[in-house]
Structures are given as C-alpha cells and as structure tokens.
Amino acid sequence: MDAPNPSALPTFASRTPLHIGAISLKVRDLETLVAFYRDALGLSVVGTGEHGAALGAGARDPDRAGLALLTLEAADGAAFLALKQRLTSAGIPFSEASAGIETVDPWGTRLRVVPA
C-alpha cells in the first residue's frame, strides 16, 4: 500500500493565516519614498513618525499575504547554489527565471531569488 501523500496532510502553513504586517525600507530621502508610494502607486499614508511613515493599500483578501511576487538576492553565488540544493533536498519545485529561480511559498506567493 502506498504511503499517504505528505502534501495532502494539513500543515502549520496551510492552517495558519498569513499577512504582511510591515515591511521596513531604509532610505535616504523619506519624502521621496512617501511621494512615490503614495502618488505613483496609490498607497495611503496611514501614519507618520520622526523616522518613518506607514503606508497601506486598504482592504485585502484575508487568505492572501498581500504580495504577488517577492524577489530576494542571495549573498553570493555559493549562497545561491546552496539555496537551490536546499529546495531540491526538500522536494520544493522551482524553475529557472530572469537570471535566478522562482518558486512559491505555501500560500502561493511567488518568490524569485537571484544571485548577487
């Protein structure tokens, strides 16, 4: 008899809602950053402080993280190759894309990793 398919079993990731609570960007020019995200991307300024601003996009689907694609940069070529090996060892599929690789997290957010 075949073993149960592990991907069909409930996991912490499939039982736990995910949302992006906050992302911090360190910038040299806060006013320019706020203007770009507010005026060009349409985000709302929901708070300001001495060293930062909070921006939001309004209501979202509670079953989604609020991201469509997250791109990360590996520290160097060796770290990039090690990441590919970890994904392979874990049985997590990925594809070659845009000078890097793409996969998806347990909530369906596309992740792209590129070498430095």
Q: Report the CATH number at residue 77.
A: 3.10.180.10
> Across all residues in the chain, what is the average pLDDT?
80
13 within some domain:
no
Contact partners, residue 81, CB within 8 Å, separation at least 6:
none
30 within some domain:
no
**Which residue range forms the structural domain that includes residue 115?**
62-116
pLDDT in tens, 41-86: 888 888 888 888 888 777 666 666 667 788 889 999 999 999 999 9
29 within some domain:
no
48 within some domain:
no
Count of structural domains, the chain: 1
Whole-structure pTM value: 0.59
Percentage, residues of the chain above pLDDT 90: 28
83 within some domain:
yes
22 within some domain:
no
Quick one: the chain helix, strand, coil %, rounded to 5? 25, 25, 50
24 within some domain:
no
